[in-house]
Structures are given as structure tokens and as C-alpha cells.
Amino acid sequence: MTGASDLRTFPSADGDLAYRDTGSGDLVVLLHSGFVDHRMWDDHVRVLAERYRVIAPDTRGHGFSANATAPFRWADDLAALLSHLDAGPAVLVGLSMGGVIATDTVLEHPDLVRAVVTAGAATGDFRYTDPWHQELQQTIARALAAGDVTTWLDAFLRLVPGPGRPAEDVDPEIPRRLREMALHTLSKHSAGEKDWLVHLTGSFDRLGDVRVPLLAVNGSLEPADLHGAAERLAGAVPDGRAATIDGTGHYSALERPDEFRRVLLGFLKTL
């Protein structure tokens, strides 16, 4: 995976934010999932940069970006980066947490967004209702608060195969890469530290205001409530669409990279 030597930094109002910037053409921004960093997109950056300018930032508190010392919003950090680079409007492509950042940004900074792709995500209003995910999220939260790295990492990596699916079904390189990135992010934080993130509320009710194309992608093995949320997201946006990638769970972009890119590039060609 790439490292800090591949990165540039943007001096935000609350510390330096890291990002990768490569290629040329129309702008595509790749937004990583929670606890990891821009490196989860490495394979996709290499291919997409042949046709597009690709920016892959590290969200504040993740990877090589500074931790927060004051209240912040994901969308504002991304908007500040794009404004600093005089870049955009951009196609925002986000997986899990990154998908929420994408929908937050199109709602709060619509002039910077050309289109949105969410993967394994809906809006920040979504909450899992199935017992498996609820128990897992509670375990992760308790382990983080206690500084129990072993329990936290075990719970986090259970998200890769997902409920009712053996870990052996997933290429072991995927949890290995996620583990490396997650441990790096976790090393930046201490148990019980203050969470400065300000969540955007009421986002689903505002989706009718989105005036750019949106594609909601899910792996076929995601839980039914997330599929339902993605379909509602696509249905609420005037130019909303949905797609499913067969045989994959939450990390569709890692499990089925060729198919994920096929779906993504097909969407980009329609813009």
C-alpha cells in the first residue's frame, strides 16, 4: 500500500489534512470507510487516474490526517480541501462512512458536487436494525471506550464477511489491509477521548433538494435494511439510481474491484 510519502497535506484551520491527488481530467473524489484511510482505494486510484483526476483524502482523525481539537463536520473539511485546490465540481464516491460524507457534502455544499456514488451506505440518518449489526456496533463502542484494541479489532474485522458468512469466503488480503490501516488510525487516538465530530441531522428529508445524479451501490450480501435504505435514497433523489454487486458484503470495492469499477465507470460515462 502507499504510505505518507505519496501524500500531500492541506493546512486546515485545525491541523493538516492528508490527501492523494493524481491523474487529470474530470474530478473523482474517493472517500474511505470508517477507521481506515485513503489506501483502501489504491487499486482503484491506479485505474481511474488513467481517465480522471482522482483525489483520495484521509478524513480528519484517520490515516495521516490530524485529529480534531475542535468541533468539525466531514462535509466542511472536504469542501475546504476542494476550495483550497480550486477543484470541482467533483464526483464523490464513498464507501460506508465515506458514503455518508458524500451525501452530507452534496446537501451542504452542492456547488462542489457533480454527482454522488454511495456504497454500503445511505445518509447519516440510517441505523442498522438487525441484531447482529447492533450488537457489533455496541461491542466496537465499548472496546474503543476501554482502549481494548484486541476486542475492537476482532469486532471491526467481522464486518468484512458480515453476518452468517464464514471468514474463509473473503480473500485474506482484504482483512489484512484493513487491519493495517485501522491499527494506524487507532494509534492516533486514546481511550475515552472527546469526539468532536458534529453529525448532520435531518439529511434524508432534504434529499429532494439534490439536483445531481446519485448512484446507490450495495453488495448483495448486505442486510435487508441497508438495501432498503439505499433504495429509499435512490428514490428520494430526482436523478437517483441503484445497483447491486453480487456475492459481496460491506466492502464491495475491495471484494469485487473489477465489478465495482465496471458499475462506477458505467455511471461516470452517463454524466
* CATH number corresponding to 4-127+196-268: 3.40.50.1820
Domain with CATH 3.40.50.1820 in the chain: 4-127+196-268
d(CA 268, CA 121): 19
Portion of the chain with pLDDT greater than 70, in percent: 98
Q: What is the CA radius of gyration of the chain?
A: 17
Mean pLDDT for 241-251 is 96
pLDDT, tens digit (0-9, with 9 covering 90-100), for 34-64: 999 999 999 999 999 999 999 999 999 999 9
Given a cut of 60, is residue 4 above it in pLDDT?
A: no
Q: Closest by alpha carbon to 81, among 103, 58, 48, 51?
A: 58
C-beta atoms surrounding 9 within 10 Å: 15
Residue with more model confidence, 2 or 195: 195
N-term to C-term CA, the chain: 31
Q: Which residues of 233-243 are buried (b: 16+ CB within 10 A; e: fewer)?
A: bbebbeebebb
Region of poorest pLDDT, from 142-156, 236-250, 254-268: 142-156
Peptide bond into 213 cis (omega under 30): no
C-beta atoms surrounding 42 within 10 Å: 15
Instruction: Please state, in angstroms and as integers, the Cα–Cα distance from residue 224 to each residue in 66, 128, 167, 178, 231, following that order.
Output: 36, 10, 20, 24, 11
Portion of the chain with pLDDT greater than 90, in percent: 93
Q: Closest by alpha carbon to 116, among 78, 72, 64?
A: 78
Q: State the pLDDT confidence band at 185, using cuts at 50, 70 and 90.
A: very high
Instruction: Please state, in angstroms and as integers, the Cα–Cα distance from residue 63 to each residue in 17, 32, 180, 183, following that order.
Output: 10, 10, 10, 9
